[in-house]
């Protein structure tokens, strides 16, 4: 029989739980945001057998004071979703690689003159010469306002294959067990092999067709405005997307040969009515492909970047937590209402860094756990167990991460840069808080010895906080706060300070969300031994991997 004091405490506890955002213990990283360590129902807390007996008015329940689970798992992904929830290649999760973004700043552009170009002292000299010989191509390469909004001209798309597999261990021990309430300890750790393989660098320059935009678009003053009305397209002809100077129906690049770039064809609508058109001619495409895109390895070497495949064996963070749970029997003596078991719980824990930190100079490296960031976590919630049917679960909490220093961390200096950046800084990074949400069900022995549970999980990560400790932007860069230009008339310098790093943009891009479904099956081989299988499937993502996890577990309970 539940006392009035217990009922009051229960109501207060449930009310508090209702205001806690739904959550479990989660990660900072986007490739494995919600790690599971076994197929065991996550809110059992060594109370499953006790609850089964209480449902049948048997208070002499068998003791379960210790659990140890060992699991083998594999996690893999080939796709991700970006900030707009569009399915993209894994390597494009921070944006397609805009190689031309490295040439917007003259100081950055000068670093690449060691790359040979026939007839010039180097790549920088060849690009500067375009200002005299092909002004439009020069603008397409060096002016951010001319950046291809379709992210094709001068962009790489990088398909990757991500795989993480290994062994995870989970253990529970009840320190206090007083029939209806208990206090316990839990430990979780993993040994994993992490791989991320670069499948290709897909150069999209050849398929770039062009863009159309209003004639009064600021910063695009050199484009020609077409006449009104629009020219009539010849029936039955589908020419490529070209500038308004080319008569519809005529080839864009002359006769296409094996040595010339081939422009993909599409239905053509001539630009008119005060609309500007810009297309990328074959000569400019050939220059960009030959002298920039094909030189990516030399460019990476100059930037001290490693584009190689990533492979690392590591230990995941050690998670230690303590929990409290208490069972309340509802409608114990009622002949009208169903008999229920309500079990509120609370859990707090710490994450001790054990994984190897990945280098900031490896764009395709992924950490095994939280990349050296210590964490504290808390969660609370309750389960509602109906007699001979299902157990419903609701949980909530957060994970807070502590800051770490990073050397030579790449940051954007222009909003049109993506994927790869010209400058770095030494920073202090504090990951944002990760909030998760779970609502689930558990059917204990719905078939002889077989139990199943399922859970819908929502994980949201708040933006990281980045503090620049030392900037490596040179003073002669247009992005430098100390940038100035010489007035040749007066001989004085005019300060035109740049914005420096776009910290707000970098922080904004660190925000992500993932929603998943986890389904677990457990079969009791004996009173003390069970085998299980778990599958975690991505449902809805934003700025995260679409990773699937398959996990098999052996569990010993004593």
Neighbours of 181 (CB within 10 A): 16
Provide the pLDDT for residue 3: 44
Strand-pair partners of 191 = 167, 315
Provide the pLDDT for residue 26: 76
- Residue 251 belongs to a domain: no
Instruction: State pLDDT tens for residues 65-103.
Output: 899 999 999 999 999 999 999 999 999 999 999 999 999
- Residue 497 belongs to a domain: no
DSSP secondary structure string, 455-466?
A: EEEEEEEPPPEE
CA–CA separation, 78 and 92 (whole Å): 11
- Residue 19 belongs to a domain: yes
Report the CATH number at residue 544: 2.40.160.40
Instruction: Collect the ranges in the chain with pLDDT lower than 50.
Output: 1-24, 215-274
Calculate the alpha carbon distances from 160 to 88, 153, 195, 545 in Å.
11, 21, 10, 11
CA–CA separation, 363 and 152 (whole Å): 20
- Residue 473 belongs to a domain: no
| Tally of structural domains, the chain | 1
Give the pTM: 0.81
The CA radius of gyration of the chain, in Å to the nearest whole number, is: 30
Neighbours of 119 (CB within 10 A): 7
- Residue 129 belongs to a domain: no
- Residue 188 belongs to a domain: yes
Q: Which domain holds residue 444?
A: 1-78+159-201+307-461+517-558
- Residue 232 belongs to a domain: no
Provide the pLDDT for residue 276: 57
Provide the pLDDT for residue 227: 36
Q: Which residue's structure tokens are 């029936």? A: 235
Provide the pLDDT for residue 61: 67
Provide the pLDDT for residue 246: 42
């Amino acid at each position: 029989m539940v006392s009035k004091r217990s009922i009051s405490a229960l109501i207060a506890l449930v009310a508090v739980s209702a205001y806690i955002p739904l959550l479990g213990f989660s990660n900072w990283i986007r490739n494995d945001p919600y790690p599971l360590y076994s197929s065991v129902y996550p809110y059992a807390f060594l109370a499953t057998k006790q609850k089964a007996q209480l449902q049948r008015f048997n208070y002499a329940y068998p003791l379960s004071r210790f659990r140890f689970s060992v699991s083998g798992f594999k996690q893999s992904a080939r796709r991700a979703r970006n900030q707009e929830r569009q399915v993209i290649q894994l390597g494009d999760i921070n944006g397609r690689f805009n190689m031309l973004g490295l040439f917007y700043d003259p100081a950055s552009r000068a670093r690449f003159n060691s790359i040979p170009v026939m007839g010039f002292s180097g790549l920088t000299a060849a690009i500067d010469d375009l200002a005299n010989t092909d002004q439009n191509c020069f603008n397409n390469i060096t002016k951010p306002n001319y950046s291809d909004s379709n992210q094709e001209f001068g962009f790489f798309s990088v398909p990757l294959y991500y795989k993480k597999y290994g062994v995870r261990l989970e253990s529970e021990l009840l320190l206090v067990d007083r029939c209806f309430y208990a206090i316990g300890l839990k430990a979780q750790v993993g040994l994993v092999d992490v791989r991320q393989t670069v499948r290709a660098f897909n150069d999209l320059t050849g398929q770039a067709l062009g863009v159309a935009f209003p004639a009064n678009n600021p910063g695009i003053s050199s484009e020609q405005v077409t006449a009104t009305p629009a020219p009539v397209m010849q029936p039955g002809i589908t020419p490529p997307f070209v500038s308004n100077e080319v008569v519809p129906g005529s080839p864009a690049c002359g006769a296409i040969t094996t040595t010339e770039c081939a422009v993909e064809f599409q239905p053509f609508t001539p630009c008119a009515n005060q609309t500007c058109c810009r297309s990328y001619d074959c000569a400019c495409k050939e220059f960009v492909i030959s002298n920039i895109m094909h030189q990516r390895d030399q460019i990476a070497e100059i930037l001290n970047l490693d584009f190689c495949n990533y492979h690392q064996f590591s230990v995941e963070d050690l998670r230690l937590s303590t929990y409290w749970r208490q069972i309340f029997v509802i409608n114990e003596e009622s002949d009208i209402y169903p008999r229920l078991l309500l079990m509120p719980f609370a859990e707090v824990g710490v994450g001790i860094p054990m994984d190897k930190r990945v280098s900031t100079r490896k764009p395709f490296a992924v950490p095994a756990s939280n990349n050296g960031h210590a964490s504290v976590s808390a969660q609370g919630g309750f389960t509602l167990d109906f007699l001979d049917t299902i157990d419903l679960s609701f949980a909530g909490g957060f994970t807070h991460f502590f800051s770490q220093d990073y050397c030579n961390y790449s940051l954007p200096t222009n909003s049109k840069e993506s994927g790869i950046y010209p400058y770095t800084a030494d920073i202090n990074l504090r990951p944002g808080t990760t909030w998760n949400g779970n609502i689930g069900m558990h059917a204990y022995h719905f078939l002889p010895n077989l139990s199943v549970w399922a859970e819908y999980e929502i994980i949201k990560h708040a933006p990281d906080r980045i503090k620049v400790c030392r900037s490596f932007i040179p003073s002669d860069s247009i992005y430098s706060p100390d940038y100035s230009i010489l007035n040749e008339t007066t001989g004085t310098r005019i300060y035109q300070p740049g914005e420096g790093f776009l910290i707000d943009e970098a922080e904004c891009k660190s925000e992500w969300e993932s929603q998943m479904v986890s389904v677990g099956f457990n079969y009791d081989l004996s009173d003390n031994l069970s085998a299980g299988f778990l599958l975690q499937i991505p449902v809805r993502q934003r700025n995260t991997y679409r990773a699937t996890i398959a996990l098999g577990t052996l569990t010993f309970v004593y």
